[in-house]
Amino acid sequence: MIDAMITDFGDSAITGAVACVFAAYMYFIAQKRAALAVIIAFTATALAIALYKIAVYSHCAIGTGFYNVRSPSGHTALSIATYGIIASIISTALPARQKPIPYLILAPIVFFIAVSRVRIGAHTTAEVIAGAICGGGIALAVWYSFIRGQDFRFRWQTALGIVALIAVLLYGQHLPAENLIHKLSVYLQKTRGCNIAIIPSS
């Protein structure tokens, strides 16, 4: 029951909304670089996971997947990328001794989302690890390109409050991402003669 509750906070409906609203807030207060970083982190991660799954499901490119990882955990990847970048942006606005605070708040949430994916049977441990590598790698690249060395100025309490509010308000909402991936895979099967794979339920 608890795992089912926790896992929803990693759904693309929530992480996507959090990314968009947080980015809008940063743009509004003239922190455009930070806004762009959040949008890129979420979008790049979502695309990477979706394209990998389509390639595997349709057997058009990588067959059964690398090391038989057919369905990297999108919840894990999007949580690490989105919440990780937000934590790193908030961290820049804090004094040296307080910089770990946003990581200490958001890291456990991301960790338990990842664990919940395995516990509810949505993904294997390998698939969660693959999602973590994808989300973490993209977050690191975005941090290096947009955030490293920056000193954003804003009320971090307000920003963190916005993240929490959006996550709570949209709790339980889901986007039909897997259904869309399935339709694209079927399209590839029909147009390119690929063998469609059986798609996991999540």
pLDDT one-digit tens code per residue, 95-116: 889 999 889 988 999 999 999 9
Residue whose entry in the numeric block shows the structure tokens 């959090």: 18
Beta-carbon count within 10 A of 105 CB: 15
Distance between alpha carbon 14 and the CA centroid of its chain, in Å? 10
Domain ranges in the chain? 2-192
Average the pLDDT over 189-196 and give the result: 56
pLDDT one-digit tens code per residue, 115-160: 999 999 888 899 999 999 999 999 999 999 999 888 888 888 888 8
Q: Who has greater pLDDT, 20 or 59?
A: 20
Residue whose entry in the numeric block shows the structure tokens 């820049």: 92
Which residue type does 186 have?
A: V
pTM greater than 0.95: no
